[in-house]
Amino acid sequence: MDVDRWRSETPGCADKVYLAGAGTALPVAATHEAMASYLAREVELGGYQAQWAAADLFAGLRADLTRLLGAESGHVALAESGTHAWWRALGALGLSRGDRVVVSDVEYLGTLLPLVQRGVQVEVLPVSPDGTVDLARAADHLAGAQAVIACHAASHVGSVLDVGSLAAIRADVAPGAWFVVDACQSAGQLPLDAARWRADVVFGTGRKWLRGPRGTGFLAVGNRVLDRTPEPLDTNTGSLTSGEPMPAAGIQRFEPFEAAWASHAGLAAAVRWLLDTGPSAVHQRIAELATGLRGRLDGLPDVEVLDRGPAPGGIVTFRHHRYAATDVAAAADAAGVVVGTSTPHPAPLDPDMTGPVVRVGAHVYNDEADLDRFAEVLADL
C-alpha cells in the first residue's frame, strides 16, 4: 500500500479533502495527460484520423476492460455512460410488455425506467433483516422470470449484492433468464467476474470508482447476447442489406462510432493505472477507508449510518438527525471537505429512502487524516 504515491498521482487531492468518489472520483494525472495529448492529436490530424491512428490504444482499452470485468475477448464495447451501455444491451434482450424482470430494492432509477416504459413487470426481491437481498428466498422469485438484474453496489446507500450467489441461483432455477449486472458503482472498488457469473450483460461507468473521465462507460455481453440484434441500430452498428436491417459483425453492433474519443483515451489511462496498481490493493484500501469512516461516524451524536449488510462497500451514507444532508455537505464544503448527497429520486424501490442522505466515497488518494477532518466537521456542527 502506497498512499503517498497514490496522493501524489492525484492533483485534485492537494488542496482539499475530496470524499465524493461515489459521484465522480478524482482522476490520476495520467488520465488528464492522456486526454490532453489525444485532443492535441485531433487538432493536428483531424478527428477521424486521430481515432484511426489510436486504434491500438482503444483496442488496448477494450482488452483491459475485458480483463477487469472477467469477460470474454471480443465481447466488450465502449459507451458514453453506464446508462447508454444499458440501453444498448436492453435493445438486444427483446423484453416486452408482460415480461417479468427481477431486481433488488436498491435498483437504480435509470436502469428501471426503460423497463417500465416497455411495460415490463418489475418484481423486487425480498430483503433480509440486515437490509441486503434475502438470497435464501430469491429462488421462488427468479423461477419463470425473463431477466434478473443485479445492481452490484447500490448508488444511494452502502449496500453490496452477493452477485456470485445470485448468479448461481439464477443458473439453477432460471437458466433461460437474462442475467444483467450493473457494475456502475462496483467497477474499480469490487472484484468483477462476468464469466463466472455467466452474465449476459455487465454494464458500467468510467467516472466513479474507476477514476475515469466524464462521458465514458462500457458494456460486456455474453455469447447469447452477442448473437442478437440490438435495437435501434445505427450507421456504425448496422446496415441495410436488401432492405433488411443487419447488425454489424460481433461486438461492433454495440459500439457507436461517434464518441468523445479523448474521454475514452482518458479511461484507457485510468483502467491501466488500476491494473498496474493492482485491483485487489485498491479494493482493499477503499474498503478499509469506508470501515474507518463508519467507525468514526458511529461515535458521533445525531449521526445515523444507513449502510447495510456485513460488507457494505465503499459508499458510506448517513442521516444527521439535526441537520439536512445538504446543510451537512455545505458545512463540509466550507471546511474544505467535499462530500455528496443522495435523494430518494434515483432509488424509487427503496422504502428506507425517505429523504436526502449524505453520501461519502473515499478512494485511495484519501488518508486517515481526511477521515478525521470530516469527522471533526460533523462534531463541530
Ligand X SMILES: Cc1ncc(COP(=O)(O)O)c(C=O)c1O
Query: Which spans of this chain sit near ligand X (rule: CB under 6 A)?
Result: 81-83, 108, 110-111, 151, 155, 182, 184-185, 205, 217
- Rounded to a whole number of angstroms, the minimum distance from the CB of residue 185 to ligand X is 4
* 8-state DSSP, 286: H
Q: Of 218 and 273, which has the nearer Cβ to ligand X? A: 218
Whichever of 247 and 266 has its CB closer to ligand X, that residue is 266
Q: Are strands 337-338 and 17-18 parallel, antiparallel or unpaired?
A: parallel
Q: In whole angstroms, what is the distance from residue 209 CA to residue 25 CA?
A: 6
**Nearest approach, Cβ of residue 203 and ligand X (Å):** 8
Beta-carbon-side half-sphere exposure of residue 161 (alpha carbons within 13 Å) = 34
Supply 295's cell numbers.
Answer: 467507525
Nearest distance from C-beta of residue 62 to ligand X, angstroms? 18
**How near is the Cβ of 182 to ligand X at its closest, in Å?**
5
Residue among 151 and 371 whose Cβ is closer to ligand X = 151
Query: Amino acid letter at 311?
Result: A
CB closer to ligand X, 11 vs 256: 256
Nearest approach, Cβ of 260 to ligand X (angstroms)?
A: 13
Q: How far apart are CA 3 and CA 29, in angstroms?
A: 15
How many Å apart are CA 253 and CA 247, to the nearest integer?
6
Q: Which is nearer to ligand X, 255 or 367 (CB)?
A: 255
Report residue 341: phi and psi, to 5°.
-130, 160
Q: Check residue 321 and give left, alpha or beta (phi > 0: left; psi -120 to 50: alpha).
A: alpha
